Amino acid sequence: MQETTVVSSQMPVLALRGLVVFPMQTVHFDVAREKSVKALEAAMEQDQILFLVPQKNIMNDDPKVDQLHNIGTVVKVKQVLRSSENMMRVLVTGMYRGSMLEVNQSEPYLLARIEQIMDAPYTLTNRTRAMMREAVLGFNSYLDMNQHQAQSVQLKLLSANEPGFVADTIAQFVGFDYPDKIKLLDQTHPGKRLDLIVKLLAQEIDTMAIELDIQAKARASMDQNQRDYYLREQMRAIREELGEDDEAAECDEYKAKIAALHLEQDAEKKLLKDVDRMSKQPFGSSEGAVLRNYLDMVLELPWNKRTKERVDIEAARKVLEKDHYGLQKVKERILESLAVHQLAPQMPPQILCLVGPPGVGKTSIAYSIARALHRNMARISLGGVHDESDIRGHRKTYVGAMPGRIITALTQAGSMNPLILLDEVDKMGSDYRGDPSAALLEVLDGEQNSTYRDHYLEIPVDLSDVMFITTANSLDTIPRPLLDRMEIIELGSYTDEEKRMIAKNHLIPKQMKKHGLIKSQLKITDDAIAASVSGYTRESGVRNLEREIAKICRKTDLKLLSQEKPSKITVTAENLEQFLGIPRYVPDHKQKSDQVGLVTGLAWTSVGGETLEVEVNVMEGSGKLELTGNLGDVMKESAHAALSYIRAHVKELGIAPDFYKTKDIHVHFPEGAVPKDGPSAGVTVCTAIVSALTGRTVRHEVAMTGEISLRGRVMPIGGLKEKTMAALRHGISTVIIPRDNLRDLEEIDPIVRSKLEFVTAESIETVLATALNPLAKDDLGLLREIPVENVAHNRNAEICQ
């Protein structure tokens, strides 16, 4: 039952929409409507008392009196702030409920007589206390679910004893619906108002629980793709704000570049598919980065770029002659390949393999070939490569994947018809990761490399226009299938004369330029060059010789900047030690007389030819054969074969038939620290043993090489060019070689061939007849000679000079 106790005077009326203010509650809100602002200003001019009444229709901007609720709240205005010209923020505190009795003014603001409505009488029973406690607990649950902090309100509720105050406080802070709050404002009975609060609070908590459950289920059902989509959209918006390129523009650029390559249909289709995949990847994803790197690598390849090859053979010949001295066989083979390519352009270039000792110019001549042919150059060092993926690339699914060395070389060369140098092809290895030499089979096969597929690119690449040149120091470690795909060109050791010419025409100008010297400052005489070659280097090529020349240049730079400051320095053979120090190599020891059991042989090493002395001593004993000098198995077998031949021909050789029972034979090869092996010392060992057993001296100016068989045949050997150069350096005048090596004399330097006398032998009898001297007189003054029939074997010897 409503009870009127006080009739207040007139006060301004302010209509609220969507907001209800309860007594004894402090609330702030914004005032913007003109009529409301004027009502507020009028209240502030008087006693700051204002009547707040909710309007029925919140969409109405200028409600009439009949569109307002009858019951509202009389409030005290605590604070007014003008936030803008037409906006004011108001802080009020509710005083009591009231109703409009009479409206005295409607313009420019509402002015009405308001009467106070008192709460109906009630009795504080246990039920009321229980309801108050239930309301407070429900309010606490509401705050926990909303994660709101309202400690001051909770403290007020815990200390409150009036059910009306508890109901009004909860009604003010809980987000009930607007009509429900109006019902609470209309209810003047505290007990009933509290009952209504408990019911509404329970409904609100249930509704909130359902909302939270729905939100949890919605979050759980959102998969990673949806989440990525939202993030991607946010990132796209951020990039647009920053002015960065859009992914769509990037994909369009990739597609335009792919179309401009004019690739085969399958290859273009695959690349476009990868572009589409990349466009669907979220920003910053690892898969997108892999695809972007892959496309960049493919587009970097010079798909449609080719250099115009030189077809002028004479111009190419001049380039080769200018860059390298000698190497005529290699130059002629390159020019032949160029001539064939000029007459038959459709024929793929042949693969050349340059084989030779270190420092003879295998790598540098490849650069000269590229310059002569006007081809771009790329070098691939295969030394130590033992993984097939180094050649064919890695699958791009692996972390850090990259294409193989062949594709990388194409990118570096910048054209599809470069010259690719496969350096040190004999130094490759193999392990559990594969055999790189097997991967090269497709690369070096002209019938297959037109559709070469790298594991990383996964699209065919045409290598048929690429000219491949390989280099190696030895053919022994190159697999036979790979060797079958290459044409072998052997580069032998340089002669001393060639080294002098190379140093004079190439090395000295090159090092002088590197060290800032000009011709007027340094002169190296021919004698000094010759002394450098013989006394400071022992090699097949000229690398160490170039180092010695660089050392001379450094010493010259130091002298030119010293206090004396000479205007010009001349290096001669006499003052060479001032620049290079004491000679590291002395001339080979040359026998000055004929001796028994001492024979000069010839050997091939990785740094060129060497002379090899064989010493034999025969002693009383039980027939033992002792072999010393760090010999290999093949050389030991050659010594046993020579001894077997001697035992089978003791009568013809004039040797005691039982020597193998009464004599011990010791065969020694000096320089025991140096390993020695090979069959080419067979005739040398045989000659030395025969000399020791017969007492016949060996001509000291004769050297020999050749393999011996049990039948006494002299079999062919290799490395004849290097061996003959060693013989000339040792002061030998006559060289015995196998008859089958007669054809190899054409490859020997003309200077060497003119200074040596060559004797070709088909059997060991010819070797013995040429190398051994007749016996001298014995103690009785008798002259023992070898049988006439043995001397007649000399008819089988051919002397080539």
The residues annotated with a catalytic role in the active site are: 680, 723
The angle formed by the CA atoms of residues 143, 148 and 151, to the nearest 5 degrees, is 80
Cα(22)–Cα(172) distance, integer angstroms: 6
Calculated CA dihedral for residues 330, 332, 335, 337, nearest 10 degrees: -70
CA distances from 394 to 11, 89, 312, 403, 587 (A): 88, 70, 41, 6, 54
Cα(667)–Cα(737) distance, integer angstroms: 22
Bridge partners, 117 (sequence order): 4, 97
Asked if 536 contacts 548 with a C-beta cutoff of 8 angstroms, the reply is yes
Instruction: Provide the angle, in degrees to the nearest 10, between the axes of the packed helices 682-694 and 633-648.
Output: 40
Cα(141)–Cα(207) distance, integer angstroms: 13
Q: 546-550, long-range: CB within 8 Å, 24+ apart, which pairs?
A: 546/503, 546/507, 546/510, 546/511, 548/580, 549/503, 549/507, 549/508, 549/511, 549/524, 550/511, 550/514, 550/515
Q: Which residue is listed with tokens 């009127």?
A: 4
Helix (H, G, I), strand (E, B) or coil at 181: helix
Going by C-alpha positions, the residue among 385, 381, 371 that lies closest to residue 318 is 371
Going by C-alpha positions, the residue among 276, 296, 292 that lies closest to residue 284 is 292
Cα(729)–Cα(536) distance, integer angstroms: 14
Which pair of tokens denotes residue 263? 């690739």
Helix (H, G, I), strand (E, B) or coil at 85: coil
Please name the residues in contact with 547: beta carbons below 8 A apart, sequence gap of 6 or more.
Answer: none
Instruction: Provide the angle, in degrees to the nearest 10, between the axes of the packed helices 328-343 and 313-323.
Output: 160
Are β-strands 49-54 and 377-381 bridged in parallel, bridged antiparallel, or unpaired?
unpaired
Are β-strands 71-82 and 88-105 bridged in parallel, bridged antiparallel, or unpaired?
antiparallel
The angle formed by the CA atoms of residues 174, 20 and 35, to the nearest 5 degrees, is 150
Asked if 75 contacts 94 with a C-beta cutoff of 8 angstroms, the reply is yes
Cα(174)–Cα(189) distance, integer angstroms: 20
Buried b / exposed e across 335-374, counting CB within 10 Å, b at 16+?
bebbeebeeeeeebbbbbbbbbbebbbbbebbbbbbbbbb
Going by C-alpha positions, the residue among 68, 53, 20 that lies closest to residue 174 is 20
User: What distance lies between CA 426 and its chain's CA centroid?
Assistant: 23
CA distances from 91 to 53, 250, 435, 529 (A): 16, 56, 86, 108
Asked if 201 contacts 142 with a C-beta cutoff of 8 angstroms, the reply is yes
Name the burial class of residue 250, with classes exposed (0-12), middle (13-18) and buried (19+) by CB atoms within 10 angstroms of its CB.
Answer: middle
The single-letter code of the amino acid at 610 is E
Cα(272)–Cα(286) distance, integer angstroms: 19
Which pair of tokens denotes residue 302? 């010079």
Calculated CA dihedral for residues 714, 720, 722, 723, nearest 10 degrees: 30
Cα(148)–Cα(152) distance, integer angstroms: 12
